[in-house]
Amino acid sequence: MVTLCRPAVAVPEHVITLDDTLRLARDLHASHDQLPLVLRLIKNTQVAKRHLVQPIETTLKHPGFEQRNAVYVREAKARLPDVVARALVHAELAADRIDAIVFVSCTGFTMPSLIPWMINELEFRSDTRQLPIAQMGCAAGGAAINRAHDFCLAYPGAHVLVVACEFCSLCYQPTDLDVGNLLSNGLFGDAIAAAVVRGNGGSGLRVLGNGSRLVRDTEDWISYAVKATGFHFQLDRRVPGTMEQLAPELRSVAAEYGWDAGALDFYIVHAGGPRILDDLSHFLGVESGMFRHSRATLTEYGNIASAVVLDALGRLFEAGGVAQGARGLMAGFGPGITAEITLGTWFGPSASRKPRSHHLIGKEATT
């Protein structure tokens, strides 16, 4: 059985609170004609604090794309070794047991990817397969898990390391003043996360299957404009409402395995914002509390892009897991509009409670 083991997560040491963000918005955009709306939207994100790779004073300056990307590489190389080492410990594997590495990021660019550097510096084998994913945004965390699962199915017994490295603050653009971008300035945070998908052995989420779904004709709803100053994030105002279209897709993937997506024991989904979680709760017919781990990630770290699903899964481990055999769904959402969906059963640290009766899910509050 293929098992997604406990993730390791790290956030940078520089912290910006909600109050800090609101104060900066007032100071920097005092003359903006929609400032009251921006402040209200930032408050509604429910993000209490975020972590940044640089002090906020440095973050607000734009020295140019070249220097920013140099910061991305420097900070990634400084922070990746510890996170990767902890993920390997959680999986009870040495680096030389890893057969492939999936590296996902949308906030910096290198060629080659950082995988060759990791292989050279962190004692992975030279024949380790490489799969960098750079253009799936927040959905890439789910895609990484699913591609690792696919690899383990193709090569039984193989083990795959998944790494998400997101420094969203390095994409701050001081000249982007539309409401969506000003909201993004108060939503996104920085983090690195890693986890091992074992082809055999280990404990955690036993992966049953995965699926990918695209909402047609929405490829320009979440995108980058690539300019001399770097990546300019573009967000269509219709994006928060896409759960009405994606919830049926989650049901479709679950139904392929005979499951009801609205009647599962746990959910780990991308917390792009509170409305995403609220709408998913509504359209799947499950209690809001079922998304508590994703909400905790949003509250404590903000939207950390592809690292969200790994951090939220880590919180499930920290909470003691769920009962053995409990059924769950993971989902990452991002550009496309794309959903990357993973189904699995719990085979790890076990909470004392038994799995809920599946027909009652959505009608009971969780604690």
Up-side HSE of residue 68: CA atoms within 13 Å toward CB? Answer: 22
Rg (CA), the chain: 20
Q: Two tokens at 327?
A: 């059924």
Q: How far apart are CA 257 and CA 108, in angstroms?
A: 37
Q: How far apart are CA 235 and CA 230, in angstroms?
A: 16
Q: Do 340 and 164 form a contact (C-beta atoms < 8 A)? A: no
Instruction: Choose among 139, 222, 217, 229: nearest CA to 180.
Output: 222
* Token pair 């492939």: residue: 100
Q: How far apart are CA 313 and CA 144, in angstroms?
A: 14
Q: How far apart are CA 102 and CA 120, in angstroms?
A: 16
Is 5 among the catalytic positions? Answer: no
Q: How far apart are CA 127 and CA 141, in angstroms?
A: 24
Q: Do 4 and 145 form a contact (C-beta atoms < 8 A)? A: yes
Question: ∠308-313-314 over CA atoms, to 5°?
Answer: 100
Q: Burial of 260 by CB count in 10 Å (0-12 exposed, 13-18 middle, 19+ buried)?
A: middle
- SS3 state at 84: helix
Q: Burial of 247 by CB count in 10 Å (0-12 exposed, 13-18 middle, 19+ buried)?
A: buried
CB atoms within 10 A of CB 93: 18
Q: How far apart are CA 110 and CA 143, in angstroms?
A: 20
Q: Do 351 and 290 form a contact (C-beta atoms < 8 A)? A: no
Looking at residue 208, the DSSP 8-state letter turns out to be: E
Angle between helices 292-301 and 274-284 (to 10 degrees): 170
Query: Which H or E run includes 58?
Result: helix 56-59
Given the residues 5, 138, 152, 171, the one annotated as active site: 138
Active-site positions? 138
